[in-house]
A and B are shown apart, each in its own frame.
Chain A
Amino acid sequence: MSNLKKKINNMNLVRFRFWFQIVAFLLIVYGGYIGFDLGDKLPTFACVYNSDGTGGKCYLGMLQHDLNHHWETFLGFAGYAFSISLGMFIVWFWLLNKAWCGFVCPLGTMQDWITAFRKKLKIRFSQYDWSSRAKIKSIKWILLILLLIIPVMISNSVFGLPTLPNGLSMPFCDICPGRMLIPAFTGDFGQFYIDFSSKTEIVMTTLGMIIVGLFLVGSFIKKRFFCYFCPMAALQYTFSKPALLKLYKDGSKCTKCGDCYRACDMDILEIADDVTSKNLVTEDCTLCLKCVAACPEEGCLEANFVGKTIFESTKEGFIIRMAMDKKRELNEQH
């Protein structure tokens, strides 16, 4: 057992994650073709619009759909359906916590591929400064609140305001880059369009096209660019505390060297600077575990599943991953 543990702790996480993400991507996008379907309450962007072979669908679509009801209906059967859906989502989510983002989400995976492409071109990534990061943080919560309120306001007059047009029934899906990009992988480019049927549609679909462009350009420049704005991340964070998979930190072992922070695609400062909290799954965390792999302190960071350590930082693992385990001749070159 301890040998297996050592192997896991010494593993090349980047490679493991690369393949895991590919398998997850294939299953989510094409799983339907082989009869694999995880339902429509997944805590990840498995797009509803990918009607052909999808192996599971994103809960955000379902959530918007569930909320578009009159108050009376919502207090009756619709509310019941809503609770069951949400319950299912929470159960899925608790299983993997935010690792849905880091390991499964096809949009996340695509961003990582774009990052890999940039790396190949030897172009450097950019970072947000700390104050910008703090400001950006709130955007995903605003998106989440809009996503919850807009469908409700289509069928109901909230605060005496007039009801919204029906074209807004899936407000987030309209602007989510997943709607266009994920079906494209099944050869369906039909989502790249601007709908001129109504003013609302024109605005929303145009926004959608712009955001796809931003997504592609943004994630080329900045690692996991879109994840900063993702309302799914906000929704997930609401239920994250009791989830089974966790990222733990033992602050007493931390030297604040910042190696974890440097590896973090989401520039999460707390991972390096917070030495008092134990649970380090923050709202932006994607549980990609790159920080654990980049930590040189024995047992300082760990991925924990139901109280069991499954992957932890070790000196040996760090040294192997950074290729510092062999002697290198340097000065002899000249």
Chain B
Amino acid sequence: MSNIERTIETPKEKQNRHKAMEAIKVINSIKDDFKSPIESMNYFYDLFERVYCKNESLHNDKTKVGTMCIQIPSEIIYALDGVPIRLCNGFYTDDEIGSDLLPQKACPLVKATVGHFASNNFIDKPDIVFSPTTCDQKTKAGTIIRNYGFKVIDVDFPRTKESEGSREYWRKSIKQFAVELSKFKNKKLTKSNLEASIKKIGYAQSLYHKLSEYRKEEILPILGLDMFLITNAFFFDKIDSWTEAMEILLKEMKIRVDKKITVAGKRSPRIVFTGSPPIFPNYKIPLIIEQSDALIVADETCSSNRMFNDMVAVDEWNLYDMIDSISDKYLKACTCPIFTTNDDRIRRIIDLVKNYKADAVIYQAFAGCTVYEMEQRSVLEAMEKAGIAILYIESDYSPSQQGQLSTRIEAFVESIKNRRRRKK
């Protein structure tokens, strides 16, 4: 008894322990709760475990460029030899820290992000943060983080995307961003390093698109949860390791499709997931969906499909033409609900339902995520018009509402199954 050394846990250690508990619980659920697991997914399970449970740093030797939303072009960051680290946070532990600092009704994602900065407890701490002025809460979060002594640079983002004015405005913002980062890194953005990084990211995207094709299969070979892990890994992983893991995964997918190995049950309904982004480890809703014998076949969220879908096309590979192309892609194609009109998002959801032969849509909005909360009605109406079943769920990061949520989702899944039976 007397030989045991007792130490008092520091707040940081406590935070890390709590986060590791949150992380491992989700990883284990995905790993163990579903049938016919994919072997090459182990890379991703391990990655999350290494980073979030063992606190392993991946980018010790690199400049880490923090980004607050997906509108900051990774192409330019890689071209300037930085590593983009997306700072959107999914930990309840950090959400609780942030709750003391932000209004009670603020979005949990923003609270968690701010909480993370307030605790200054990073595995890969960003050297500089670029904050696009997307939604109000993210915009203000950028300023709050600056007060904690981080170097935060706002990147002006317009809220309409139809006009030429906003397009030009955003192009200027991106040029300014490139200048700022270039100054910070003391490295010049050149035609050749930007072209190479556009193609490098294009290749990563092409792999994601290939994988998505497999989700159109009648006999579904991969879980939606796995897809979220894969895309979330792109937030912080080394891009080369990521693409390598994807190449291996794609090979396994082909074998699984040929051998008709599926993760689905006999009558599992196919779901398109949309709304506030599932960020690891807050996979609360997706986890309940897939544990209730439904499968997410596609999604319309900025932590997954929207992040990868649109690719940069360049007509003439000049430096400025490339920058303009990149800016256009990050503005024009974006279906974020912060924009004044949002028909593009509705069209996209309907297209996903059609292409991925989905039976229904599940729409998650974080309590406090005003834009998604506000526009859910219009999406619901549009889905009703198109004859697509939809379930709207408000959630947050707390682990407490599990019972109520699973009852609702299970009932919805059951009703979809019934509907299918009646159709037959």
Partner-B contacts on A (CB < 8 A): 119, 122, 124-125, 129-131, 251-263, 272-273, 275, 290, 294, 296, 315, 318-319, 322-331, 334
A275 near B240: Cβ-Cβ < 8 Å: no
* A115 to B, closest residue via Cβ: B316
A252 near B313: Cβ-Cβ < 8 Å: no
Q: How far is the CB of A209 from chain B (nearest CB, A)?
A: 30
B199: chain A residues within 8 A (beta carbon): 322-324, 326, 328
Q: How far is the CB of B64 from chain A (nearest CB, A)?
A: 13
A253: chain B residues within 8 A (beta carbon): 351
CA distance A275 to B344 in the complex (A): 10
B328: chain A residues within 8 A (beta carbon): 257-258, 261-262
A330 near B196: Cβ-Cβ < 8 Å: yes
Q: Given that A258-B332, A322-B313 are contacting pairs, would A273 and B203 also be in contact in the complex, using a CB cutoff of 8 Å?
A: no
CA distance A294 to B310 in the complex (A): 12
A-B contacts counted at CB < 8 A amount to 107
B321: chain A residues within 8 A (beta carbon): 124-125
CA distance A327 to B207 in the complex (A): 10
Question: A322-B199, A322-B311 provided; 9 other pairs, C-beta below 8 A?
Answer: A252-B347, A252-B351, A256-B333, A257-B333, A259-B329, A263-B313, A275-B347, A328-B199, A334-B81
Residue from A258, A273, A331 within 8 A of B240 (CB atoms): A331
Q: How far is the CB of A298 from chain B (nearest CB, A)?
A: 8
> Which 7 A-B residue pairs are closest in the complex by CB-CB distance?
A324-B202, A259-B313, A257-B333, A258-B332, A257-B310, A130-B164, A294-B313
Q: How far is the CB of A258 from chain B (nearest CB, A)?
A: 4
B316 near A259: Cβ-Cβ < 8 Å: no
A331: chain B residues within 8 A (beta carbon): 78, 81, 239-240
Residue from B320, B329, B348 within 8 A of A258 (CB atoms): B329
A258: chain B residues within 8 A (beta carbon): 328-329, 332-333
Q: Is B137 an interface residue (CB 8 A)?
A: no
A330 near B332: Cβ-Cβ < 8 Å: no
Q: Is B256 an interface residue (CB 8 A)?
A: no
A330 near B193: Cβ-Cβ < 8 Å: yes
A322 near B314: Cβ-Cβ < 8 Å: yes
B203: chain A residues within 8 A (beta carbon): 324-328
B311 near A259: Cβ-Cβ < 8 Å: yes
A262 near B325: Cβ-Cβ < 8 Å: yes
A318 near B311: Cβ-Cβ < 8 Å: yes
B interface, over-half SS: helix
A255 near B318: Cβ-Cβ < 8 Å: no
* B344 to A, closest residue via Cβ: A256
Q: How far is the CB of B198 from chain A (nearest CB, A)?
A: 8
B311: chain A residues within 8 A (beta carbon): 257, 259, 296, 318-319, 322, 324
A325: chain B residues within 8 A (beta carbon): 203, 206
A318 near B309: Cβ-Cβ < 8 Å: no
Q: Is B324 an interface residue (CB 8 A)?
A: yes
CA distance A328 to B206 in the complex (A): 13
CA distance A134 to B68 in the complex (A): 38
B344 near A255: Cβ-Cβ < 8 Å: yes
* B212 to A, closest residue via Cβ: A315
A296 near B350: Cβ-Cβ < 8 Å: no
The contact string, 1 if C-beta is below 8 Å from chain A, for chain B 62-90, is 00000000000000001001000000000
Between-chain CB contacts (< 8 Å), 30 pairs: A119-B316, A124-B316, A124-B318, A124-B320, A251-B347, A252-B347, A255-B344, A256-B344, A257-B332, A258-B328, A259-B311, A259-B325, A262-B313, A262-B315, A262-B325, A262-B328, A272-B332, A273-B162, A322-B202, A322-B313, A324-B198, A324-B199, A324-B206, A324-B311, A325-B203, A328-B199, A328-B200, A331-B78, A331-B81, A334-B81
B197: chain A residues within 8 A (beta carbon): 330
CA distance A172 to B218 in the complex (A): 61
Q: Given that A273-B162, A331-B81 are contacting pairs, would A257 and B320 also be in contact in the complex, using a CB cutoff of 8 Å?
A: no
CA distance A244 to B309 in the complex (A): 33
CA distance A323 to B309 in the complex (A): 17
Q: How far is the CB of B86 from chain A (nearest CB, A)?
A: 18
CA distance A325 to B202 in the complex (A): 8
Q: Is B182 an interface residue (CB 8 A)?
A: no
Q: How far is the CB of B171 from chain A (nearest CB, A)?
A: 11
Restricting to B185-203, which residues have a CB under 8 Å from any CB of A?
193, 196-200, 202-203
Q: Given that A322-B314, A331-B240 are contacting pairs, would A255 and B196 also be in contact in the complex, using a CB cutoff of 8 Å?
A: no
Q: Given that A255-B348, A328-B200 are contacting pairs, would A296 and B313 also be in contact in the complex, using a CB cutoff of 8 Å?
A: yes
Q: Is B205 an interface residue (CB 8 A)?
A: yes
A319 near B206: Cβ-Cβ < 8 Å: yes
* A296 to B, closest residue via Cβ: B311
A294 near B315: Cβ-Cβ < 8 Å: yes
A129 near B164: Cβ-Cβ < 8 Å: yes
B325 near A296: Cβ-Cβ < 8 Å: no
CA distance A315 to B332 in the complex (A): 19
* A323 to B, closest residue via Cβ: B199
* B309 to A, closest residue via Cβ: A255
* B62 to A, closest residue via Cβ: A331
Q: Given that A252-B351, A257-B332, A294-B315 are contacting pairs, would A315 and B209 also be in contact in the complex, using a CB cutoff of 8 Å?
A: yes
A322: chain B residues within 8 A (beta carbon): 199, 202, 311-314
Q: How far is the CB of B321 from chain A (nearest CB, A)?
A: 6
Q: Given that A252-B350, A258-B332, A327-B243 are contacting pairs, would A125 and B316 also be in contact in the complex, using a CB cutoff of 8 Å?
A: yes
A294: chain B residues within 8 A (beta carbon): 313, 315
A255: chain B residues within 8 A (beta carbon): 309-310, 333, 335, 344, 348
CA distance A122 to B209 in the complex (A): 33
Q: How far is the CB of A321 from chain B (nearest CB, A)?
A: 9
CA distance A322 to B206 in the complex (A): 11
A122 near B318: Cβ-Cβ < 8 Å: yes
CA distance A263 to B347 in the complex (A): 24
Q: Given that A255-B344, A257-B333, A324-B203 are contacting pairs, would A296 and B316 also be in contact in the complex, using a CB cutoff of 8 Å?
A: no
A130: chain B residues within 8 A (beta carbon): 164
CA distance A315 to B333 in the complex (A): 16
A328: chain B residues within 8 A (beta carbon): 196, 199-200, 203
A275: chain B residues within 8 A (beta carbon): 347
* B310 to A, closest residue via Cβ: A257
Q: Given that A124-B321, A334-B81 are contacting pairs, would A263 and B200 also be in contact in the complex, using a CB cutoff of 8 Å?
A: no
* B247 to A, closest residue via Cβ: A327
